[in-house]
Amino acid sequence: MSLNADLAVVSKVIKRVMGREQLKALSDMLEHTIVRDIGGEALAISTMQTETFLEDFATLAPKIMEIEGCSAIFAAATMEDKVQVVGRSNSPQIDVGEICRMLGGGGHWYAASASVKDMTLPQVRDFLQMQSSLLVNSGENAGSLMTSPAVGAPEDLSISEAVSLMNRYGLKAVPVFKKDSQVCVGLISQETAAKAAGHHLGAISIGTYMQRGFKAVPRQAGIQEIVDIMVGSQQRLIPVVDGGDVQCESEQQRYDELASRNVVGVVTRTDIIRLFMGEHGAHIPTVSRKNRKERNLASVMSKQLTPACMHFLRLAGDIAEEMGMAAYVVGGFVRDLVMERKGFKLQEMDIDLVVEGDAIEFAHQLSISVKGRVREHREFMTAMLVMPIEELKQEDKFRDSHLSEPGLFKVDIASARLEFYAEPGALPRVERASIKMDLYRRDFSINAMAIRLNPGGFGQIVDFFDGQDDIKNKRIRTLHALSFVEDPTRMFRAVRFEQRYGFRLGAQCERFMRNAIDDLHLVDQLSGGRITHELELMMEERNPYLCFKRLDELGIIGKIHPLLAMDDDKRDMADRIRRVLEWYMRMYLPEKPDMLMLMLIALCRKSAAPELAGVLNRLQFSQKRIRFTMQVRSVIMSVRQAMSKWEKSNGSLRDLHRILGRAPLESMLYLLAREDQTDQHEKLTRYIYLGREMKTDINGEDLIALGIPKGPQIGRILDEILGAKMDDPGLDKARQLEMARAYTEELNR
């Protein structure tokens, strides 16, 4: 340095040997690199998710620059509980040091870094993209950037109510409207309202403490003006008003004139990030298209979906376009398409549509085209469209389709909306919002994706929250820190998705969950009915035992009720129950067992009857279901000694039938699960599979014809003959009648 060495030149010529870990990280980051043209210079933004600290992370940035041929790069990665940012530049026009200083870091124009604790990786990536985009998007305006409609507060609203309003929507500030109008008279920040409430001023109206000096802009206002107001005037929220711009003698007169108009939207710092990452990001020249979020799934959809289903989705997009709305298919449907799961069938698919507009009006318009009917749920801004599948096949190009799905096709349709929770564990309330806000309210990133249905963009995936990355990395991740606080049942869903797909909770997601379980005790606040619903869904999974085992590892099952906490003996019995149920369901027998009941009996196998009843009451089982569960347990307990003798004597199916008779199916499955002897296991399996469906070839009338009087002994004789037929399936009707005569003579002696 004393000889005036140029570190920028030094960094170019230094060559470092990369290890396996660095090479893997380099590969991941190259796959998630976006390169944009900034004033003739290529800028790359590269991101990566990792749970551990990566040595020499800074050395990856020059490698990516070299491979992509960029003038500058920002590399960002989650490491432990921080987001590490490294910036490198070969062009003084792109000052990476200045941008890193905005993130709390520092450096030079050519090399800089930052360690960010209070932002997630997507937020950091959005920030970096915004800063670069600001350089080339001076043509953008307030109308294209604003969030509309604007969430505001009437000037007579109290401080406490304003705090609740902003907490509900997660806002830092809102415009204050003149009573019964959309004219803005001031701004109120969350910070100001919270401080006022802290001083016991919650009952005072916000008009007393609102910021009266503010600037509003017309739709045509450019991005530079917006940034100048936000930074220069430190105004985090800018109202956007109706009408065109005005020419006045002074700037203040112009802003006064604009402020007197109706507010049609607001621009916030978050909106700038959001909209640059969304549709407006497409206006930025792209050098390299490696962003997986730009995927179009139309070809995947055409391969995996039936022609009728594709026709319906395209029809929905066409109608939305005609109505001036944007339509999307969302949720698990999109997740499964991204994962390219095979074997979709129309009637098995859970299709959820979201429109940016009036869902009920859209549903009625769509129903006309498909000859369906609509069930409205105006309170939740949703509707269910029900139509005969045959109607979809009436279209000429689908008449020769080999679709064979019978029955009705049901589709849930909702307005893009925001849900908020009045208290932990409560059911949500809803308000209208944008597609991004709608996706943001969902449980996990893998379920927070959408597919556009409108013509022109049909099949384009909308993935604001890196759901595709989490699918690739087999990770379950919440969208925000309070996700489990707002809805604790998400903990059960996280476990289900983990076990269904072979995923794992992300480190941060698991920390949030353990905080909700151990520190906030949110499982205690869930009703038994909601817990039971989630457990029932787990029992439908391919391996429910793994779900229950994971619930136990996380401490959830013991929080539901201490008796459910698992030890080695319970784990063994629960796994046995799983294997028996798996076998039984493969038999496709008509009688369906109560699977959750069996799992609960297994987990409470050494508990007294009143203790099991306590568990069932906690889960809010119906009284009928509780009585039946206790009956099943009673049968299991009462035949224990007889079953033991049957095992030791290598008893027959007839002997087994004498013990069990017509015992509930659940008790037989439980006994099968605990049976260790191979021969007896096979006999019990045969008894369950054949014995419950087997009948005698003779009936009560035949016995009466033999002179046997009506009464309970007819039933006992038929039962004995049935047992004999189990041991000898070739026992025909003539031999059964002979046996009946022998029994009759014996009874008459």
Whether 503 and 475 have beta carbons less than 8 Å apart is answered as yes
Higher-scoring residue by pLDDT: 260, 390: 260
Residue 579 main-chain phi, psi, to 5 deg: -65, -40
Tell me the C-alpha distance between 425 and 428, whole Å: 9
Whether 736 and 696 have beta carbons less than 8 Å apart is answered as yes
Quote the tokens at residue 631. 């009956």
Higher-scoring residue by pLDDT: 728, 490: 490
> What H or E segment, with its residue span, contains residue 79?
strand 72-79
Q: How many percent of the chain have pLDDT more than 90?
A: 38
Q: What is the CATH number of domain 142-280?
A: 3.10.580.10
Quote the tokens at residue 241. 């008003």
Mean pLDDT over 127-151 rounds to 75
Strand pairing class (217-218; 237-241): parallel
Quote the tokens at residue 322. 């005609």
Task: Classify residue 235 by its DSSP letter.
Answer: -
The domains of the chain are located at 7-133, 142-280, 293-473, 527-691, 700-748
Could you read off the pLDDT of 346-397 as tens digits, one per residue?
444 578 999 998 999 999 999 998 888 989 888 778 899 988 766 555 443 3
Q: What per-residue confidence (pLDDT) applies to 691?
A: 63
Among 71, 116, 64, 111, which Cα is nearest to 87's?
111
Tell me the C-alpha distance between 79 and 57, whole Å: 10
Tokens 């509003």 correspond to 216
Question: CA angle 346-349-353, nearest 5°?
Answer: 110
Q: Mean pLDDT across the chain, nearest whole number?
A: 83
Whether 337 and 343 have beta carbons less than 8 Å apart is answered as no
Written as one letter, the residue type at 452 is R
Higher-scoring residue by pLDDT: 730, 372: 372
Mean pLDDT over 37-57 rounds to 79
Higher-scoring residue by pLDDT: 307, 503: 503
Tell me the C-alpha distance between 247 and 218, whole Å: 12
Among 206, 163, 171, which Cα is nearest to 185's?
206
Residue 305 has pLDDT above 90, yes or no: no
Tell me the C-alpha distance between 197 and 192, whole Å: 9
Q: What per-residue confidence (pLDDT) applies to 289?
A: 33
Burial class of residue 441 (count of CB atoms within 10 Å of its CB; 0-12, 13-18, 19+): buried
Among 381, 418, 137, 152, which Cα is nearest to 264's?
152
Could you read off the pLDDT of 109-133 as tens digits, one per residue?
899 999 998 788 888 887 887 676 6
pTM for the full predicted model: 0.61
DSSP string, 218-245: ETT-BHHHHHHHHHHS--SEEEEESS--
Residue 513 has pLDDT above 50, yes or no: yes
What is the architecture of the domain spanning 293-473?
2-Layer Sandwich (3.30)
What is the architecture of the domain spanning 7-133?
Roll (3.10)
Residues 6 or more apart from 556 whose CB is under 8 A from it? 491, 492, 495, 517, 523
Residues 6 or more apart from 738 whose CB is under 8 A from it? none
Fold of 527-691: cca-adding enzyme, domain 2 (1.10.3090)
Per-residue CA distances from 365 to 296, 309, 327, 371 (Å): 27, 18, 13, 10
Whether 267 and 226 have beta carbons less than 8 Å apart is answered as yes
At 288, the pLDDT band (50, 70, 90 cuts) reads: very low
Q: What per-residue confidence (pLDDT) applies to 650?
A: 80
Question: CA angle 111-112-115, nearest 5°?
Answer: 155
Tell me the C-alpha distance between 59 and 15, whole Å: 9
Q: What per-residue confidence (pLDDT) applies to 574?
A: 92
Whether 601 and 621 have beta carbons less than 8 Å apart is answered as no
Could you read off the pLDDT of 677-690 as tens digits, one per residue?
787 788 888 878 77
Per-residue CA distances from 453 to 39, 144, 326, 364, 445 (Å): 34, 21, 8, 18, 21
Could you read off the pLDDT of 197-222 as tens digits, one per residue?
887 888 989 988 788 889 999 999 98
